[in-house]
Amino acid sequence: MLIRRPSDVLPSEITPRDVFLNRRQFMATAAGSALLAGEAVAALKTVPSRYSASEKPNSLKEITSYNNFYEFGTSKEDPAANAGRLKTKPWQIVVEGEAGKPRIFGLEDLLKLAPLEERIYRLRCVEGWSMVIPWVGIPLSSLLKQVAPTGNAKFVSFETLNDPKQMPGLLTRVLDWPYREGLRMDEAMHPLTILAVGLYGEVLPNQNGAPVRLVVPWKYGFKSIKSVVQIRLQAQQPQTSWNQAAPEEYGFYSNVNPAVAHPRWSQASERRIGEFFKRKTLPFNGYADQVASLYQGMDLKKYF
Ligand SMILES: Nc1nc2c(c(=O)[nH]1)N[C@H]1C(S)=C(S)[C@@H](COP(=O)(O)O)O[C@H]1N2
Ligand SMILES: [Mo]
């Protein structure tokens, strides 16, 4: 889903500001790792979940060093290198729109809404690779119920933080920022849809979308928006960053579907990070029993 590779950027496009930011970013990363070593990392108290896949998770190293988070750069190594400067405390999520009780949630409020569960989920990136990740999180439904959605709430939109001082990738125009995603209301309320605040029992590493990110395991990875600051209930289907960037390639639904090829490559198989041979991609990423009924009667070639 790369539109513009870093190697396509001409040296003339690198401004003194970029050079300045790169130096700052180097210092921020150095400071960040010192902090990590010094600070006791909060272990999250979790209960196991009946929704976990019975597959061996990828290693912490794999999960935290091969990422997509374009706000920190477009290559897989960029988020681990650059996300150290993201300030995740304090953090607020504004939940508004078609809601009887719109509200601003601090991260602490979120943790009180439901028991934190460990959910081992497959993540299938639209680029053709996959991982298995032991998330820690709560159902998104437990947050949405708090704001009392009105009868007009048919869709939910999500936005990532939009601060170029913390996110150097925002200075490039690879996407229309802030990163935006959306779900239909029934998808958002589905028990498989979670807000993740951790992985491997610890708070989320910045490169994985700290302090809170969406995870929708039956959809391509880009639907699982990171570092969320705004959630809006609305009557209309939201515009999303990837659909806006390339509507023929990335539909609103983006359910994992081996039968519908991306215009430039097949989606029939995938490479699990750490494995050599490819696997067959499963309909709805292996969650068909739980979610196929949401799309009954819809032409999934049209609503891709
Ligand atoms: N804000 C934001 N969220 C994002 C992205 C991004 O670039 N920005 N990338 C998406 C893509 S393409 C994938 S595959 C997953 C990757 O999540 P992970 O790095 O935690 O494995 O995050 C998704 N969420
Ligand atoms: Mo992705």
pLDDT tens-digit series, residues 22-77: 434 433 444 444 444 434 567 899 999 999 999 999 999 999 999 999 999 999 99
- Report how far ligand 1's centroid is from the alpha carbon of 196 (Å): 13
Report percent pLDDT > 70 for the chain. Answer: 87
- Is 299 inside any structural domain? no
Centroid of ligand 2 to alpha carbon of 72 (angstroms): 14
- Mean pLDDT in residue range 228-244: 98
Residue 214 in domain = yes
Which residue CA neighbors atom 12 of ligand 1 most closely? 222
Measure the CA–CA gap between 278 and 270, rounded to whole angstroms.
5
What pLDDT, on a 0 to 100 scale, did the predictor assign at position 42?
Answer: 79
Q: Is 225 annotated as a binding residue?
A: yes
Structural contact between residues 188 and 180, judged by C-beta atoms closer than 8 angstroms:
no
Task: Tell me the average pLDDT of the chain.
Answer: 90
Query: Which atom of ligand 1 is nearest to 69's Cα?
Result: 7
pLDDT at 11 over 80: no
The separation between CA 232 and the C-alpha centre of its own chain, rounded to angstroms, equals: 16
| Ligand 1-lining residues (CB < 6 angstroms) | 67-71, 123, 125, 160, 179, 208-209, 221-222, 224-227
Tell me the C-alpha distance between 150 and 33, whole Å: 44
Pairwise CA distance, residues 150 & 152, whole Å: 5
> Is 120 annotated as contributing to ligand binding?
no
pLDDT at position 86, please?
98
Instruction: Pick the residue whose CA is nearest to atom 4 on ligand 1.
Output: 225
Q: Average pLDDT in the 138-146 region?
A: 98
Residue 270 resides in a domain? yes
Structure confidence at residue 35 (pLDDT): 42
For residue 298, is it within any domain? Answer: no
Q: What is the mean pLDDT of residues 82-108?
A: 98
Over residues 224-229, the mean pLDDT reads 99
Q: Kindly give the distance from the C-alpha atom of residue 222 to the centroid of ligand 2, in angstroms, as a whole number.
A: 5
Q: What is the CATH number of the domain that holds 202?
A: 3.90.420.10
Instruction: Report the pLDDT value the prediction gives residue 236, as an integer from 0 to 100.
Output: 98
pLDDT at 1: 54
Q: Choose which residue among 68, 121, 122, 230 to substitute to test ligand 1 binding: the one with the highest number of ligand atoms within 8 A of its C-beta.
A: 68
Ligand-binding site membership of 62 (annotated): no
Distance 125 CA to ligand 2 centre (A): 4
* pLDDT for position 51: 96
Range of the domain at 189: 6-293
In a domain, 301, yes or no: no
- Which ligand 1 atom is the nearest neighbour of the CA of 131? 21
Q: Does the predicted model carry a pTM greater than 0.85?
A: yes
- CA of 67, closest atom in ligand 1: 19
66 domain residue, yes or no: yes
In the chain, the amino acid numbered 282 is L
Domain count, the chain: 1
Inside any domain, residue 236: yes
Q: Point out the ligand 1 atom lying closest to the alpha carbon of residue 242.
A: 12
- The 10s digit of each residue's pLDDT in 269-286 is 999 999 999 999 999 999
The verdict on residue 158 lying in a domain is: yes
Å from CA of 80 to ligand 1 middle: 12
